[in-house]
Structure 1
Amino acid sequence: MNTKHKHTELVKAEAKRLGFFSCGISKAEFLEEEAPRLENWLKMNRHGEMSYMENHFDKRLDPTLLVPDAKSVISLLLNYYPSEFQKEDTYKISKYAYGTDYHFVIKNKLKQLLHFISEEIGEVHGRAFVDSAPVLDKAWAAKSGLGWMGKHSNLLTKQVGSFYFIAELILDLELEYDSPVTDHCGACTACIDACPTQAIVEPYVVDGSKCISYYTIELKNEIPQHAKGQFEDWMFGCDICQDVCPWNRFSKSHREPLFQPKPELLSMSKKEWEEITEEVFQKLFKESAVKRTKFSGLKRNIKFLKD
């Protein structure tokens, strides 16, 4: 067994042990296909007020600018599909934010994986990324054969759908590389048809500045009045395009205790959300991704839905 193969097997086995349900590896090189796509998307101002998307353009496309002498990009998927959901007829939060903030949970697993690689393989330099640095995670995951980019621009996988987080390790270690899989969206347009704000402007292209997730999380100013009545009770994030996707019929519940929601989160009624106090907010979302919108942001979103 050659060394590269042995190292690759070791990494994938440890990723599985840590709870990732998929691990794919790509050669760390310039993302040639993505460059014009990203440039065009920014030029069309589809990132709205997310000005950070304009920063580090080169780093987003070239992993060797993030990790000197990078050889491999390891992409990992972690399931977050819940076993229980919020009650019907209430203000909704995106399923990914039900439990502990995924940044904490995944960063911890990646640190363990990096430590394991150093212990087992020797001195390897690398960095872990969870949605927090200029890395095009969906592009790398697709390149590594973990799925294909759906028409809603989320990564899709045949066996499990799309309710998972994507994370990366960029290493200066040479490994065996995986190949991309084919697109299986076919003629389906369920996600495009279901999006209430028409944010999916054409297949595979999302105008971020029209997305309910953008309005309820990223937008710091008032939500524009023209979006009134289009949010279908989503107060933090939105899962519509994923919920209607036929591939998500195969979603199975996660087994990560930290992603379990607090029972009161699932049972709160519209009235309770409307009357939420800062104290309850802090307690309910202590280590949650919902903190990103802050108490004032959540109140703004609820008011927008209610008025």
Structure 2
Amino acid sequence: MTDVRIEDKELQASLVEQLRGWARALGFSQIGVADVDLSSAEPGLLAWLQDGFHGSMAYMATHGLRRARPAELVPGTVRVITARMDYLPRDLPDGWQAVEWQRLDEPTAAGVSLYARGRDYHKVLRNRLQKLADQLAAEVGPLGYRVFTDSAPVLEVELASRSGIGWRGKHTLTLHREAGSMFFLGEIYVDLPLPLSEPVSAHCGECRACIDVCPTGAIVAPYRVDARRCISYLTIEHDGAIPEDLRPLMGNRIYGCDDCQLVCPWNKFAQRSTLPDFDARAPLTHPDLLTLWRWTEDDFLRHTEGGPIRRIGFERWQRNIAVGLGNALRQVLTPEQDDEIRHALAARREAATELVREHIDWALRHAPRR
């Protein structure tokens, strides 16, 4: 057992290399180490909150600057170990971006973000980060630590950027020159003074593809997203009625939105996952709106068990699909397809909740009869 609390830089650097080896064995692609002083990020965070860009995510404002102060969240923290885990399904074909664009162009297909088609990443990363922390503790002795995966007031992208995982893209996601942005981030807050990783320089240049492609104009400026307009927020975090002016812009996207990542030139280097956890489950391999709309709540719970989609609940799931079906009715369909969608929407109306019924009525009211 090594006590790295001594001021031995070689031992500390060696420990970080051990961490990287353990992490690779657990399915992580990259490890970095960040300092806990994020004070320079505080003004941007405050401005984002003051502009109301967090929408109904009240917890963002509740935690406030605590997100930028790791040592307040976990007293004693002096370093943050950051981790990257690639999530593209292992069997995804070459040219996968074109396949995804084609899916979004098919009115009756269902658009589900790539990351959400397999197992819930919170569970996958949390379990493996815990194992990594346990290995570290076994090596160094008593250790103060806590693991996070999108589960606490943590400035994940800021920490990832400072620790060399990548740079903040204009869509606000982390970008890596050899892995694009199709990866998850996780952190281990520790009380060990590990050597810091070197940050990398940004490589977005003059490109604004992600800004221009956003269906709802949610990327209001480089590095600034208004969550209230973001389809990922609207379909996942938002629990009320989706604003009517945004519904037509959502197309068939019923859970999340990958557009800003699909268009990003760096994602030609995106890496496949080494884990089976992120392989697409059968119901979400080639989903269509009508099939998903006909699910009962029991079907929904069964098909989404252990996956990230379950957390939005059946009501929001139906709300989102109702919008997708309404948008499909505005596209060029055969008379048979048009009739089938209208009948399916109307058949669910009476038993639907008030929220879902309102979106069904919108779908039928604003679609021209063929």
TM-score range, shorter chain: over 0.9
How far does residue 291 in structure 1 lie from its aligned partner after superposition? 1.1
AA at the equivalent of 2:78: K
Structure 2 residue ranges without an equivalent (≥5): 1-8, 93-98, 326-362, 364-370
Q: Which runs of 4+ in 1 moved over 6 A?
A: none
Q: Deviations over 1:170-197 (max 9, x none)?
A: 1001111112111100111110110010
- Structure 1 residue aligned with 2:66, among 55, 59, 77? 59
Q: How does 1:1-307 map to 2 (within 5 A)?
A: 2-29=10-37, 31-82=38-89, 83-84=91-92, 88=103, 89=106, 90-306=109-325, 307=363
Normalized per residue, the structure richer in helix is 2
Question: What TM-score, normalized to structure 1?
Answer: 0.96
Do 2:34 and 2:159's aligned partners in 1 also have CA atoms closer than 8 Å?
yes
Structure 2 CA distance for aligned equivalents of residues 203 and 93 of structure 1:
25
Task: Determine the structure 1 residue equivalent to 2:353.
Answer: none
AA at the equivalent of 2:152: A
Structure 2 CA distance for aligned equivalents of residues 222 and 38 of structure 1:
27
AA at the equivalent of 1:24: G
Structure 1 CA distance for aligned equivalents of residues 198 and 273 of structure 2:
26
Percentage of matched positions with identical amino acids:
37
Range that drifts further, 51-60 or 209-218:
51-60
Q: Deviations over 1:255-300 (max 9, x none)?
A: 2111112223213322212212212211110011101211110100
Identify which of structures 1 and 2 has the higher relative contact order when contacts are C-alpha pairs closer than 8 Å and 6+ apart: 1
Structure 2 CA distance for aligned equivalents of residues 33 and 209 of structure 1:
25
Do 2:171 and 2:210's aligned partners in 1 also have CA atoms closer than 8 Å?
yes
SS in 1 for 2:239: coil
Bigger Rg, structure 1 or 2: 2
Structure 1 CA distance for aligned equivalents of residues 250 and 18 of structure 2:
45
How far does residue 102 in structure 1 lie from its aligned partner after superposition? 0.6
Do 2:85 and 2:185's aligned partners in 1 also have CA atoms closer than 8 Å?
yes
Question: What TM-score, normalized to structure 2?
Answer: 0.80
Structure 1 CA distance for aligned equivalents of residues 73 and 82 of structure 2:
15
The RMSD of aligned alpha carbons is 1.4
Structure 1 CA distance for aligned equivalents of residues 193 and 21 of structure 2:
17
How far does residue 69 in structure 1 lie from its aligned partner after superposition? 1.8
